[in-house]
Structure 1
């Protein structure tokens, strides 16, 4: 096993020399290993393995001061600067509810943790059982590096083993045929929703996938949107300084930006938001479907945009800025309605 690990370290070093601009997530795919395994090749040099209950560690992240939180999937990278505040857990579900850093944490997915030094760029990185990144926290010029080092010392794994027990990600359940779905019951339940968070339970109850549920929704409550319309909505929101919410999820974390978006910059297949406190990098060529959704709540209809890849995986969710008890802004509703027509 040691020979295999050393071999991977050599393979990765060779790959980096030949492909200096390829990011580690993509390198892992090309080398047919997980990202966590590549990070572990740096133990003793660029990486320190962490151990313990990561819930306890996350409760101490506020001591780091202003940092950059990063959550991503294969198609979208979500980066938000700020301070971790109001960190709390109920069993394995966590919340971070700061003004800038807004997260939902699903700790059953958090298996491996590392402190990483990439050419003096310091970070904490966490990975799922299959070795895929769930969340990363990068230090900035405003961070408390002394607190960062203290946190590493406290949670440092005594063994520093580069052997990771990687488990394959379970395959999603096969989608049921429409004929096997209680479509009428599903539609009635949709119309009876009082909170958008009920939608997940509704899908589970009627055994429908998310994209199938959007397709079988009550008439007038969902509609497909073009990529051009999505770009236009982003542009209009930027020009009017309309605050929006952008949700991006990994296996173990949902990260939310709430606020305006300003500097939009398409680069190749990427659509980028490049603002001082928030960056988003969206692979437009991965987008297979964009749905406009209308979900009933106690505060009125909530209008959202849901982006999916060709396999039905959710890429991102986009809403107008709102809070419970407050109806969504009419400017957001009108903007989406204008570009979906």
Structure 2
């Protein structure tokens, strides 16, 4: 029986016709094999969501889970060290470690482990599956979660040192009674149109920006004035948001790797935000992809999908906190980068120096001090 705290409580619609699911499965496998595509790209190539393709294999190598997402996630510490994956259309964040210090308040969850640092928005989760994918090295076991449109919000993959017995027990515990293949998904929401700049009280917005005492107040600031994030950066107080080239992310990562600077890397979507804190070492550019390829942390970021990049400065009780923020063409956040710091600590000077190099001029930063 579902816990009342879970986000999904309405009855699920009837499953797609088996013939339709069979055709989808066949077409997906054909396109994936012929074009050598990853699952997400193969799904897009045939015009369906990734979640629909996963659901098509329920009863074969996929088990549908009951939508008790809070209980499932808060059972994950038993699996030991795993790989957590969170992505959006332009960035993939892969982090090894155990799920630790998990909690929730309603449908908003936290994972405050030393290695897996998560902000979880369960009200966006709709479907969950256990997936066993055959590979040359044996079965690759994972849990995969999707929103109502079939877009992935979070995935968890076992590593060689993970507890397989605990995984099997978790899948058995949360296995749904109905294992009919296929899933109905809803259309993805179109981005909300921006409020015209002329309708924004820019002077008041800038005044409240400068009055912030915590970076978490920024989201409330956007809501209060009805502005998008991209719009907020355009309307920011002078010296607090500077446009930089998309290639700034390469400059930043190369600089951080060369100086052993610990940074924070945020990648998320509507249902999950995943954070890496620590140094980055191995930076590789492969076509449009900018990659961090470290033993316990991988980042894969499509620089060609970065529409705008900004060095952003927000006041806090601990002083100015600065970030590099990357937005896509719809104004959605692709990734954000901060200097590693704890609450109550001032921002690192070496992080500020890195951002000066990213900006390409020291004058802009000095002018806003």
Residues 1:186 and 2:187 are matched in the alignment = no
**Aligned residue pairs, count:** 340
Which whole-Å CA distance do the structure 2 matches of 1:232 and 1:16 have between them?
34
Q: Flag structure 1 segments of 5+ consecutive residues without an equivalent.
A: none
- Structure 1 moving runs of 4+ over 4 Å: none
TM-score, normalising length from structure 1? 0.98
In the alignment, is the contact (CA less than 8 A) between 2:32 and 2:38 conserved in 1?
A: no
Residues 1:40 and 2:55 are matched in the alignment = yes
Q: Could you tell me which residue of structure 2 aligns to residue 220 of structure 1?
A: 239
Residues 1:117 and 2:136 are matched in the alignment = no
Q: Could you tell me which residue of structure 1 aligns to residue 21 of structure 2?
A: 5
In the alignment, is the contact (CA less than 8 A) between 2:130 and 2:144 conserved in 1?
A: yes
Task: Specify which of 86, 98, 103 is matched with residue 113 of structure 2.
Answer: 98
CA offsets 1:43-91 (integer angstroms, 9 cap, x no match): 1221111004110111110000000000000100000000000010100
Residues 1:313 and 2:332 are matched in the alignment = yes
Which whole-Å CA distance do the structure 1 matches of 2:246 and 2:149 have between them?
32
Which whole-Å CA distance do the structure 2 matches of 1:48 and 1:87 have between them?
24
Q: How does 1:171-250 map to 2 (within 5 A)?
A: 171-250=190-269
| Distance apart, 1:15 and its partner CA | 1.6
Residues 1:324 and 2:339 are matched in the alignment = no
Which whole-Å CA distance do the structure 1 matches of 2:25 and 2:245 have between them?
44
Which whole-Å CA distance do the structure 2 matches of 1:71 and 1:335 have between them?
26
Which whole-Å CA distance do the structure 2 matches of 1:294 and 1:243 have between them?
19
Which whole-Å CA distance do the structure 2 matches of 1:101 and 1:228 have between them?
28
Task: Specify which of 266, 270, 274 is matched with residue 289 of structure 2.
Answer: 270
Q: Flag structure 2 segments of 5+ consecutive residues without an equivalent.
A: 1-16, 362-369
| Distance apart, 1:299 and its partner CA | 0.4
Residues 1:159 and 2:195 are matched in the alignment = no
| Distance apart, 1:229 and its partner CA | 3.3
Root mean square deviation of aligned Cα: 1.0
CA offsets 1:198-236 (integer angstroms, 9 cap, x no match): 001101110111010001000011101123333222111
Q: Could you tell me which residue of structure 2 aligns to residue 333 of structure 1?
A: 352
Partner SS, residue 161 of structure 2: strand
- Higher percent of residues as strand: 1
Task: Specify which of 58, 61, 65 is matched with residue 50 of structure 1.
Answer: 65
Which whole-Å CA distance do the structure 2 matches of 1:156 and 1:308 have between them?
38
